[in-house]
Every structure is written in C-alpha cells, then in structure tokens.
Structure 1
Amino acid sequence: MKKGILITVAIVMSVVLVFAITLLMISQDPIKKAEKETIAIAKESAGLVKATDFYWYNREKTYFSVAGLNESDEEIMVIVAKDGGGKTILNQDEFITEQQAKELTREEKGSIDILEARIGLEGDTPIWEVSYKQENGRLGYYVLTAKSGKWVSDIENI
C-alpha cells in the first residue's frame, strides 16, 4: 500500500516538474527570439561580430538593444525599435557603460540595491533606466542619458 502511494506521488511530481520546465521554456521563447533578431540586425547594420549583452527596454515604446564588439574590436551599442525597426548605433566613445550607469545611480541614490539596467530611447535620446530597491523595500527607476550620464528622471516608492 505504501509503495503504491509513493509511486503515485513520484509520478505526479514528475508530471508537475515536466509541466513547469515546459512552461518556463515556452515563456523564454519571445526573449530568445527578440535577442536573436536584434543580434542579426546589429551584425547587418553595425558590423557586430561578438554580442556581449542584450537588453529589453519597455516604457512608452519597446526597444531591444545589443552591446558587443565590431570588426575593429570597438565596443558598440545597437538599439532597435520593436515597432518599425528603427536603429540607433552608438560607438564606445558615445555612451556610458551599464556599470557606469549603475555606479552613477548608486552615487546619487545612496544605500540602495541595484536590480538591473536597461538601455532604450526616450524620444531620440538614448537613456539608461536603472531599477533599484530602496531601503524601505519599494522599487524605483533612475533614468540617465546614455551619452553623458546626466539625470533625466527618478521614479520612487513604487
């Protein structure tokens, strides 16, 4: 009797595990597809040869961005609009890095937990949006220009 119950529980747990893994893989498909398409666009339009980071920015409009190296071994950033496919290409001397954006945010906001940074466009201006958790546990977004690191906006206590 106990052996039968254990076998039944093992079968149910196996089915649940397979379902959970399948659901996770299906949910990742849009991200992987967007990353693959963005890298292909960056290779064609900006000479990307090695992708190092992929970003998905979603505010008023959605942008997919890829950072990496071009044929000259220079760091570039290619920002692609989801709708219309418009491209913005930045060379290494034209933007601050993700790490620099996080450091500038930490300097301004003090004791916070940085969650992630995403690059996108606000109008025609490339911006970094750095999400963070405040000491009170609430979320915030610190937005700065990607070209100079100047403050654009800050949304707190979400």
Structure 2
Amino acid sequence: MNRKTVSVLTAIFLVLLISILGVFMQSQARINQAEEETVNLVKYDFNVDKINKFYWVTTDNTYFSLDFIDDEGVQHFAIVAQEGGDIQYFSENEIISEQDANDLTINETSMTNIIQTRLGLLNNEPVWEVTLKNDNNTLTYYYVNALTGLWVKTISNI
C-alpha cells in the first residue's frame, strides 16, 4: 500500500473510533445522570459515604436503586421510583444479598449463565431481578422477593 492509502485508512479508522466513543458516552450519560439524581435524593435522608452499586430496573414502573454505605459504616439499600421520587429504604439485614438471590436462582432454575442482577420493586415489593441467558440464546428474567428469598415470577424466552 502506498502512503496515501494508509493515511486515508487511518483517518477513516480514527473517525469511526471517535464516532463509536461518542455514541457510547451519550448512552452512558442517562445512566450517570440517573445515578447522580438518585444519590442526591438519598443524601436528604443519609450521609452517603460510599456507593457500592447502582441499579436501573424497569418492572411495572422504572426504579433506580442504590446499594450504599453511610457515614457510620452501615450498609443500606434505597429504591427510588422514577415517577414521583418515592424512596423505600432497607438495611442489609432486611433483604437478601445479591449473591443470595443469584444462588437461589441457580438452585431453582439449574441455569448458571447469569448476565446481571438488579434490585427494584415489583407490585410495591422489593425484588431481585436476575437475568439469565438460556442455551437457545434467549433471556429469562427470574424475580426473587428480596425480603423472603421466595420466587415471585419468571419471564422466559425473550
């Protein structure tokens, strides 16, 4: 290849790379804004020292959830409704852990390919939404009650 061809291909590659990076950053902007707003709402009730995880869940409504440590070193979970901003708080002793929800799901379904686990509300009850990838490349959503650890609902073959 001559020098001109290499220069043109390099320029095309750079434009493509910058475009992909721009699309990625734009897609993350909504998530970052939702997390920031959720943290600001929770800070009205708690002194947030550390954020462990942020979850965005859409069940019957959209919820933003925060796993955080307060200034006294106590772990809490906050579930915030996107519409209206109502907040429900739970201590680490009130709900099962994300790992427990994953373990329960694996035991109940015999599926091990967990893609993600998120905390939210379903019918005003806290649930862990466990997303699994099936052997036929479809998704299954398995909902575990976060208070009791009992199965709530399964949505399969999506």
In structure 2, do the counterparts of structure 1 residues 150 and 38 end up closer, same or farther at CA, with 3 Å as the change threshold? Answer: same
Distance in 1 (CA, whole Å) between partners of 2:74 and 2:86 is 22
Write out aligned runs for 1:3-42 (5 A).
3-42=3-42
Gaps of 5+ in 1: none
Q: Secondary structure at the match of 2:43?
A: helix
Distance in 1 (CA, whole Å) between partners of 2:134 and 2:83 is 33
Matching residue of 2:150: 150
Matching residue of 1:88: 88
Q: CA RMSD, aligned part only?
A: 1.3
> Structure 1 residue 43: deviation in Å?
2.1
| 8 Å CA contact retained: 2:59, 2:121 | no
Give the number of aligned pairs: 158
Distance in 2 (CA, whole Å) between partners of 1:124 and 1:117 is 18
1:59 alignment partner AA: T
CA displacement 1:52-107 (0-9 Å, x = unmatched): 00000012210001101123311100001111000000011111111111111001
| 8 Å CA contact retained: 1:130, 1:142 | yes
Distance in 1 (CA, whole Å) between partners of 2:126 and 2:7 is 57
Q: Secondary structure at the match of 1:13?
A: helix
Matching residue of 2:53: 53
| 8 Å CA contact retained: 1:54, 1:65 | yes
2:85 alignment partner AA: G
> Structure 1 residue 139: deviation in Å?
1.1
CA displacement 1:6-44 (0-9 Å, x = unmatched): 111111111111111111111110000101111121222
TM-score (norm 2): 0.94
1:18 alignment partner AA: I
Q: Decide which structure has greater helix share.
A: 1
Write out aligned runs for 1:61-140 (5 A).
61-140=61-140
Distance in 2 (CA, whole Å) between partners of 1:63 and 1:36 is 14
CA displacement 1:126-149 (0-9 Å, x = unmatched): 111100012333210110111111
Distance in 2 (CA, whole Å) between partners of 1:5 and 1:74 is 60
